Structure 1
Amino acid sequence: MTITQLKYILAVAEYQNFTIASEHCFVTQPTLSMQIQKLEEELDTQIFNRNKKPIQLTDVGTKIVEQAKIIVDESNRITDIVDQQKGFIGGDFKLGIIPTIMPTLLPLFLKTFIKKYPKVNLKIEELTTEEIVKKITDGHIDVAIAATPLENDILKERVLYYEPFVGFVPTEHRLFSKKTIDVENLNIDDILLLEDGHCFKENIINLCSALGNKNSHFQLHSGSFDTLIKLSKEGLGMTLLPYLQTLDINEKDKVYLKDFKEPVPAREVSLIYHKSQLKIHMIDSLKNVIDSVIRGVIAFNDVKIISPIQQKKGA
């Protein structure tokens, strides 16, 4: 039994296809199949049911895969221990970021991180929160940046900053004349929202749910803040933006921005990773870089954190 064989069965278990698994393992399909067959012969048991499409694990195969994950992770930990002892920060580092954070936060820290840690091969993916949780669980990304808390027992969360909500209110809207707006002024029926799959939408729904408005319909959903801003300027409703998004708004449109009264509703933005994550030294380095650049951009203290987790009725 070898670590390589265990990696192969993990790949087939995930992709449920020998050809796709071999491509992700960078070997030929016959090589991968032969190694898995050797392992099955050594164990005198069948790991995969090849008669079903897609390929499925047998009952004992499911248990073998669970143990294989532990063994492969522990083998990787040896390299990580050596790297930390040497103070080496380098190698592959896979980062996921949710869409409502990536375009505003990434430009703030990416150049600094690359310059400071040139030996790190940083691979970045834009992912929804749901995709992030799955990819962290499956070991396909090392760390992610997302709105928290996520209330997931397998994840560790380290807060980076608290990002306030800011109102974007068109001139004909009932709240435009106000210098600041209060959460109690909001009516979810005239708030333009991001489409399903964005946790910032859940932030806003949860914010408005506190007012007892849980069953409202929404007039219009969009996939980007830029679209919401344009639609709002056309008089189709107000919208809410995360603070960093407002920094790129042109001077002419800043007249539409309305701050909230304190405590300002805000989302918590954190680094999240698996509790058994190996690359803690890289995660620490990433956090230090982000801390250094965000400190001069966001300096809000009196905030009320709004959860991105969908609230249950009656909760």
Structure 2
Amino acid sequence: MTITQLKYVLAVAENQNFTKAAQKTFVTQPTLSMQIQKLEEELDILIFDRSKKPIELTSVGKKIVSQARSIVNEADRMQDVVDQEKGFIGGAFKLGIIPTVMPTLLPMFLKNFTRKFPKVQLKIEELTTDEIITKINDGHLDAAIAATPLHIDKIKERVLYYEPFVGYIPESHRLAVNKTIDSKDLEIDDILLLEDGHCFRDGVINLCKASKLQHGEPFQLESGSFETLIKLSDEGLGMTLLPFLHTMDVSEHQKRNLRYFNDPPPAREVGLIYNKSELKLQIINALYDLISGVVRGAIAFQDVKIISPIK
């Protein structure tokens, strides 16, 4: 049994196809198939049910894959142990960021980080919170930036900053006359939301303590971007809520539509999360120190009311 064979097994389990798995692992399909067959012969079991399309794991195969993932992850961390002992800040590092944080936060720290730590090969993916959790647990991400607290076993959370919600209210809206707004002023049936899957959406719903679509509502509008929500709001289709950092990018004309909450404003907690057994702590600490320092200069709010991202 070899680490290479286990990596081939994981590739097939993930892609449910021998040809795609071979492409992902940069070997020929016959080579990959032969190595997996050798492993099955050695263990005297079938890991995959090849009669199914797409290929499925057998019941014992599921257990083998779970164990293989642990073994491969631990083997891959051998270099991490050495790097940590030497205090070396470098090497490959996979970072996930949720979509509602990526556009505003990434430009604030990426250039500084790459300049300060040129030996770190940073690979960044935009992922939903659910995708991030899966990839961290499977060992496909070293860390991620997401709305917290999530309270998930095996995942450690470190708060980076607190980001208040800000109302974006067009002139035609009932709340436009208010200089400031309060949570009790909100009615969920006239708030434009991000589409399902975004934790900021869940935070807004939790803030309003209601469901999006009320009985008798003539339409339901959802979008994948804040830019679209702003445009829809400008058309008089409702108000929306934005994360504070996103309001820094709106035009001077649009800033007239911003309404801040009375103290303490509702806010989301944004944290750096990673597996509790993660060993690339020298890079994680570097990311944490740089990001929290940069954002601290942009967000002066301290007295906030944290809204949970969990439904």
CA contact (8 A) 2:73 2:139 kept: no
In structure 1, distance between residues paired with 2:211 and 2:59:
47
Aligned to 1:29: 29
Per the alignment, do residues 280 and 82 of structure 1 end up closer, same or farther by CA in structure 2, a change over 3 Å counting? same
Aligned to 2:122: 122
| 1:244 positional shift | 0.1
The list of structure 1 runs, each at least 4 consecutive aligned residues, that deviate by more than 4 angstroms after superposition, is 212-215
Per the alignment, do residues 38 and 207 of structure 1 end up closer, same or farther by CA in structure 2, a change over 3 Å counting? same
Q: TM-score, normalised by structure 2?
A: 0.94
In structure 1, distance between residues paired with 2:212 and 2:45:
53
| 1:101 positional shift | 0.6
| 1:181 positional shift | 0.6
CA contact (8 A) 2:69 2:138 kept: no
Aligned to 1:295: 296
What amino acid sits opposite 1:151 in the alignment?
H
Q: How does 1:10-29 map to 2 (within 5 A)?
A: 10-29=10-29
What amino acid sits opposite 1:8 in the alignment?
Y
In structure 1, distance between residues paired with 2:197 and 2:63:
33
Q: Does 1:175 align with 2:184?
A: no
| 1:74 positional shift | 1.8
Q: How does 1:106-185 map to 2 (within 5 A)?
A: 106-185=106-185
**Equivalences, count:** 308
In structure 2, distance between residues paired with 1:153 and 1:145:
17
Aligned to 2:98: 98
Q: TM-score, normalised by structure 1?
A: 0.93
| 1:91 positional shift | 1.8
Aligned to 1:313: none
Unaligned runs of 5+ in 2: none
Aligned to 2:6: 6
What amino acid sits opposite 2:164 in the alignment?
P
Task: Deviation per CA, 1:174-195: give whole Å up to 9, x if none.
Answer: 2112111111111111111112
Aligned to 2:187: 187
CA RMSD of aligned residues (A): 1.7
In structure 1, distance between residues paired with 2:32 and 2:112:
40
In structure 2, distance between residues paired with 1:244 and 1:8:
43
In structure 1, distance between residues paired with 2:171 and 2:62:
60
What amino acid sits opposite 1:165 in the alignment?
F
Unaligned runs of 5+ in 1: 311-315
CA contact (8 A) 2:149 2:157 kept: yes
What amino acid sits opposite 2:302 in the alignment?
N
Q: How does 1:43-58 map to 2 (within 5 A)?
A: 43-58=43-58
Q: Does 1:75 align with 2:75?
A: yes
